[in-house]
């Protein structure tokens, strides 16, 4: 039986269309909008390993602060930081 992932780890599933596996998809929750709806970032790839690497890179960038949060930022604010 599969074990549950911890909060913030994301999920990796098979990407199936018309009964045929076309690759893998990973998604991670990055926050909530002003109405409380969950905001997710998704990654796709041909192999599970490729998708896991993309997810790990994104999660690392989030922890280091190089990815802007889900809040909107103006170009001017971004340019002067």
Q: What is the DSSP string of 42-78?
A: EEEESSHHHHHHHHHHHHHHHHHT-S--SS---HHHH
pLDDT band at 28 (very low <50, low <70, confident <90, very high): very high
Structure confidence at residue 80 (pLDDT): 82
The full set of domain ranges for the chain reads 11-79
Structure confidence at residue 70 (pLDDT): 52
DSSP state of 1: -
| Overall pTM surpassing 0.95 (yes/no) | no
Tokens of 34: 């002003």
């Amino acid at each position: 039986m599969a074990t549950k992932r911890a909060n913030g780890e994301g999920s990796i599933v098979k990407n199936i269309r018309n009964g045929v596996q076309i690759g893998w998809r990973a998604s991670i929750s990055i926050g909530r909008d002003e109405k409380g709806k969950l905001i997710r970032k998704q990654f796709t790839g041909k192999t599970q390993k490729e998708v896991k690497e993309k997810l790990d890179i994104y999660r690392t960038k989030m922890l280091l602060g190089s990815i802007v949060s889900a809040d909107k930022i103006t170009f001017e604010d971004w340019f002067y930081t």
